[in-house]
A and B are shown apart, each in its own frame.
Chain A
Amino acid sequence: MNFKKYFNQQNTFILIGLVIALVIPQAFKSSQYVMLLITTVLLYAILASAWNIIGGMAGQLDLAAAAYLGLGAFTTGTLLIQWNITPWVGMFLGGLIAMGLAILIGFPLFGFKVKELWYAISSSALVVVLQSLFMMWNEVGGPTEKYLPSGSSPWYSLRFNTYVPYYYIMVTILVVVILINRWIRYSKLGYSLLALGEDEDAVEVLGVNSQLSKLKALAIYAFICGVVGGLYACIYGYVHPAFFDTSMSMEITILGIVGGMGFIYGPAMAAIVMVSFREFLRASLGSQLAGLYLAVYAIILIVVALFQPRGIAPLFERGLKKIQTYFAELKRGHKADA
């Protein structure tokens, strides 16, 4: 094995990030509230990174993250409540169901080359439609919360008294999603998707099946959202049609855009920065006026989108380059001294 090959700057950053991630629960173990906040931030980071596959790479402005999340949550919750099937299976099935629905809707829309605007609107409508469907479907959803039972073994029913285990699961999923992002970005699929964004007809002429490529991206994205949705249901301990939340879907999309479309780490970074900030605002302003924190947050999102249209990831990259050149010059300076 050639380990040196893997020892590059990018991997060093991942390693540092992982070490920090492992230490965080030790620091905040005493406060369950903080742990829940951190877990929520990670949830948004995962969803925004998953969105990057369909939005950033395939260029389809999907607004249905909460639809797939909710489907995963309801699948997991219903399986556990009615048949006592472990969420580990439920999460996987939830991902598959979300994927199935996504393909069902994506197949005709991509096939008929519907303009991206109409895809965005039909996907945002999907969230509302699923919410009203689950409101009516009393066996599974309905207007009251359906609580998940805490079974005999916490690892079987995924119901813990503390948020620490959820945190670790979330970190693991985030790492996997970022690895998937990286893998897609440098695979044939990634190159075809990026090329599709430039000129769809030209790419078709070169023999790329654009419909299939977009469908693959959509399926992967929906699957991740569904799996995370299962975990979401376990964290909150209930399922409710309010999980089909249009605001949440919109927020995921904005985080993906603000993070930097197509940058592998951008959306996760944007989610970590912006959602932490939002929760900070909620904690400091929320007690005075309901909604004030969201107003401030929305203004900041708009300002970032207007003045940093390529997202914040390029900013970070530029900052990194500066540090690199600084160290390189420092090294050269030392040599000159010697």
Chain B
Amino acid sequence: MIHTVSQGIITGILMGAIYALIALGLSIVFGIMNVTNFAHGDFVMLSMYLSYAVGSALAWDAVATPLITAPLLFIFGFITYYLLIDRTLRQMYVVQLAVTVGLQILLRSLALIVWQAQPRALQYSIIQGNIQIAGFEILTSRLISAIISLIFIAGLAYFLNKTWAGRAMRAASDDLDAASLMGVNYHKTYALTFAIGSSITALAGGLLMSFQQTDPVGGVRFGLLSWAVLALAGLGSLPGLIVAGIIVGVVESLTVSFFDPRSRLLGVYAIFILVLWLRPRGLFGRR
């Protein structure tokens, strides 16, 4: 019993680090630009498919595919920003909703056109297999993915705090008018933010593909998971994001091991609703 719980918690923590990474992409877009991207989960789905395409075409390992998919997603995010998001900034909130939900349907149907409906998975990964630590089974792929996620989140925190572009982003999120007066071109800053947010999903997609398969409707799950992490973490705290990701991962993993694999989202949904009721600004949010 205790063993099962601990095993579930360990699996959950490792998955949680990746969820935090996925939510990070959403968090900077939502936190800095105040843009609600309903298609975020489908960006992850698209990344996973691209990772599959690159991995199977070049016979690369899934973990290495972000080297190609991240620049692709960066460009994709850049184009999406100027083509769609930039035009919605000065309009009613519902227009943003309609456009990003439309984008969601578009990405889903594109995946269906290119890769058909059946799930796709990459053959093998160099980081496959598992390690035994004190009687617990740990999948190597998840362990390495979790470590890469954490390193990347730390790297982004450094970028946001220490570089000019990162500071411009945070300034734009604090006070857009003041930032504009200080010489921040908000169109460029927002485009960069959105592109970085998209390319983060490429990294997450590559990591996920090392142990998971993907299908055209898989985006819904990642969308819900990342919104749940964001609601739990609140805005503006990267360590909080990691903790929230781990909480969500552990809850999901425990629901799977104690109830039913099909009920994996139920527990996450329950926390999500509870947080919205009890603490709308999240556990670590500053506003």
**Are B97 and A247 within 8 A (Cβ)?**
no
> Is B68 among interface residues, defined by CB-CB distance under 8 A?
no
> Is B94 among interface residues, defined by CB-CB distance under 8 A?
yes
Binding stretch for chain B, among A89-97, A128-136, A178-186: A128-136
**Are A129 and B265 within 8 A (Cβ)?**
yes
Shortest CB distance A240–B (Å): 15
Complex CA distance for A261 and B108, rounded to whole angstroms: 26
**Are B105 and A251 within 8 A (Cβ)?**
yes
**Are B110 and A302 within 8 A (Cβ)?**
no
**Are A129 and B266 within 8 A (Cβ)?**
yes
**Are B84 and A122 within 8 A (Cβ)?**
no
Select from chain A the residue with minimum beta-carbon distance to B112: A291
Select from chain A the residue with minimum beta-carbon distance to B224: A125
**Are A295 and B102 within 8 A (Cβ)?**
no
> Is B104 among interface residues, defined by CB-CB distance under 8 A?
yes
> Is A36 among interface residues, defined by CB-CB distance under 8 A?
no
Select from chain A the residue with minimum beta-carbon distance to B93: A116
**Are B99 and A302 within 8 A (Cβ)?**
yes
- Given A118-B231, A121-B227, A290-B112, also A309-B105 (CB < 8 A): no
Cβ contacts under 8 Å, B84 to chain A: 302, 306
Mark contacts of B107-133 with chain A using CB atoms, 8 A cut-off: 1 yes-contact digit, 0 otherwise. Answer: 011111100110000000000000000
**Are B102 and A109 within 8 A (Cβ)?**
no
**Are A122 and B272 within 8 A (Cβ)?**
yes
**Are B280 and A115 within 8 A (Cβ)?**
yes
The contact of A306 among B38, B99, B277, by CB within 8 Å, is B99
Shortest CB distance A139–B (Å): 15
**Are B106 and A114 within 8 A (Cβ)?**
no
Shortest CB distance A168–B (Å): 31
The contact of A125 among B88, B94, B102, B269, by CB within 8 Å, is B269
**Are A291 and B104 within 8 A (Cβ)?**
no
> Is A117 among interface residues, defined by CB-CB distance under 8 A?
yes
Select from chain B the residue with minimum beta-carbon distance to A299: B106
The contact of A61 among B88, B94, B103, B262, by CB within 8 Å, is B94
A231-273 residues at the B interface, CB under 8 angstroms: 246-247, 250-251, 253-254, 257-258, 261
- Which secondary structure dominates where chain A touches chain B? helix
**Are B109 and A61 within 8 A (Cβ)?**
no
Cβ contacts under 8 Å, B98 to chain A: 253-254, 257-258, 301-302, 305
> Is B175 among interface residues, defined by CB-CB distance under 8 A?
no
Shortest CB distance B265–A (Å): 6
**Are B97 and A253 within 8 A (Cβ)?**
yes
> Is B221 among interface residues, defined by CB-CB distance under 8 A?
yes
The contact of A132 among B91, B108, B262, by CB within 8 Å, is B262
> Is A18 among interface residues, defined by CB-CB distance under 8 A?
no
Given A128-B220, A297-B105, 6 other A-B residues pairs in contact with their CB atoms under 8 A: A112-B280, A117-B36, A291-B113, A294-B109, A301-B98, A301-B105
> Is B1 among interface residues, defined by CB-CB distance under 8 A?
no
Report the 6 A-B pairs with minimum CB-CB distance, sorted nearest first.
Answer: A291-B112, A294-B109, A298-B106, A305-B98, A302-B102, A291-B109
**Are A261 and B102 within 8 A (Cβ)?**
no
Cβ contacts under 8 Å, B265 to chain A: 125, 128-129, 132
**Are A132 and B273 within 8 A (Cβ)?**
no
The contact of B105 among A118, A290, A294, by CB within 8 Å, is A294
Cβ contacts under 8 Å, A301 to chain B: 98, 102, 105
**Are B263 and A136 within 8 A (Cβ)?**
yes
Shortest CB distance A54–B (Å): 13
Question: Which interface residue of B92, B94, B217, B228 has the most chain A CB atoms within 10 A?
Answer: B94
- Given A247-B108, A301-B102, A302-B102, also A112-B277 (CB < 8 A): yes
Cβ contacts under 8 Å, A120 to chain B: 36, 38, 97
**Are B262 and A136 within 8 A (Cβ)?**
yes
Select from chain B the residue with minimum beta-carbon distance to A292: B113
Cβ contacts under 8 Å, A116 to chain B: 93
**Are A128 and B112 within 8 A (Cβ)?**
no
Shortest CB distance B283–A (Å): 15
**Are B101 and A250 within 8 A (Cβ)?**
yes
Complex CA distance for A309 and B84, rounded to whole angstroms: 13
> Is A338 among interface residues, defined by CB-CB distance under 8 A?
no
Select from chain A the residue with minimum beta-carbon distance to B97: A61
> Is B276 among interface residues, defined by CB-CB distance under 8 A?
yes
> Is A17 among interface residues, defined by CB-CB distance under 8 A?
no
**Are A295 and B262 within 8 A (Cβ)?**
no
The contact of A289 among B88, B113, B217, by CB within 8 Å, is B113
Complex CA distance for A115 and B231, rounded to whole angstroms: 11
**Are B260 and A254 within 8 A (Cβ)?**
no
Complex CA distance for A254 and B101, rounded to whole angstroms: 8
Mark contacts of B197-231 with chain A using CB atoms, 8 A cut-off: 1 yes-contact digit, 0 otherwise. Answer: 00000000000000000001100110010011001
> Is B187 among interface residues, defined by CB-CB distance under 8 A?
no
**Are B221 and A309 within 8 A (Cβ)?**
no
> Is B154 among interface residues, defined by CB-CB distance under 8 A?
no
